Structure 1
Amino acid sequence: MDALSDLLGRAGEPLTWLQMSARAVVIFAFGVFLVRVASKRAFGKWDALDIIVSIVIGSNLSRALTGNAPLLPTMAGSLTLILLHAGLAHLAVLIRPLGPLLKGKPAQLIVDGKVDETALRRHGIGHHDLEEALRSSGVEDVAQVRSAWIERNGSISVVKD
């Protein structure tokens, strides 16, 4: 164990460049492992739950990298977060009411060519943002839209007439 501590350093003690480099390799490999455990779902669609987990894990692992937190317990905590995230994602599939609670719900922004101003305000979407989404969908005029939705991941989906 002393050899490992010599290579990786100890939490709270200054790290040498070699120890920081060794920790970087370990944290990188562990990060790749976490992404594989989490599946594409965790880091692909970026809903609110995904963002929170990603920020917390990034913050957590950065502390281990710089030596401000013990390496192995920090890695164990990060793995726990990923497993919790994966478990909640699977539960949200199995228990339908849990999905909107964890991931949010889509909201309709346009109905039959008419913009729902209340929905725009509620979701903090300006007209310029909505117009950009329409243009990205190949729509020049809101009258061409049957419906538009802000999805759970924050993207805007457009259904043309």
Structure 2
Amino acid sequence: MSELKPILLVEDNPRDLELTLAALEKCQLANDVVVARDGAEALAFLSRRDPHTGKPIGLPAVVLLDLKLPKIDGLEVLERVKSDPETRQVPIVMLTASREESDLVRSYRLGVNAFVVKPVDFQEFFQAIRDLGAFWAILNEPPVGCARRRDWTPAGG
């Protein structure tokens, strides 16, 4: 049996990050959760390449991606990931507070797999994250991919 792929959580808001991690932990998923706090960190994680093959090392099972991020926003991250043949099959869930129709439409045009508006209510938010984690890490059947990465840390981190 192959090793589990990690979940990449891209979130800059400390409160939302803490709640999301707590909800994922409560799901008792065996997947590692890797946190990137801005779009640049997310792209660095996704673009790490094996020096022998040039292929990405251990792509995640899913990326939970905030829309409004420092350095590189979520839509730009989405566009870059979906335009790269090596990463385009990675499922991306836009997890955002934005209810803007233009953000929703642009996300789907760029290839997002799901667009989830963060509920304001704590219990609803918690349940939404648990459901997302369970679906993408357990129920979803992705194409065969690489094993998880255990050694990644952001530059300077």
Q: TM-score range by the shorter chain?
A: under 0.3
* TM-score where L is the length of structure 1: 0.27
Instruction: Identify the structure with bigger relative contact order (alpha carbons < 8 Å, sequence gap 6+).
Output: 2
